[in-house]
Amino acid sequence: MEGSGGVEQGRPAPRRRDGGPHDQGSASAKILIVEDDPDVVAVTQMLLERRGYRIVTAPSAPEGKRKVEGERPDLILLDIMLPLGTEGFDFVWSLRKHPDPVLRDTPIVVMSAIHRTTELRLYPEEADPEYAPGEFLPVQAFLDKPVIFDELARVVESVLAGRRRQ
């Protein structure tokens, strides 16, 4: 899906016999995709569902906020450039200030083309002396679009595994 700036399939990993890459008993992890490009949503949803994840979607930050409170996802995949511009930033900061600690600490993985379309950088280079990853924008990972699905799957699994260890 390089043309839409979203997710490239690559070689999806086969589904594990235990239902997926996570370890939450018989229930799979729930992932909220906050993304306004329906093609990116469809491909990402299809590929993650094949790995056993339950997917909820929202086309905007306001809808995403409602879904976070109603669905209580285990992980959020978030685009920054949504219908109202860069409303993904507001989404991150409002979630990180949420009074419910479970929602406030929900892991966020940003998937965005903002680095390709602007000069803005959301995470420092490894050599940056000012900021460490996650200090500038409090998210667990950042993936540049177009996202390679194998990399997305690896990051999702890693972030969810880190959450289970806490």
Asked whether residue 13 carries a pLDDT value surpassing 70, the answer given is no
Q: 54-99: per-residue pLDDT in tens?
A: 999 999 999 999 999 999 999 999 998 888 877 898 999 999 999 9
Give the model's pLDDT for residue 85.
73
What dihedral do alpha carbons 115, 3, 59, 27 form, nearest 10°?
Answer: -100
Give the model's pLDDT for residue 142.
87
Q: 123-139: per-residue pLDDT in tens?
A: 555 555 555 555 567 88
CA distance linking residue 74 with residue 81, whole number of Å: 22
Domains of the chain, each with CATH number or no CATH: 22-119+133-165 (3.40.50.2300)
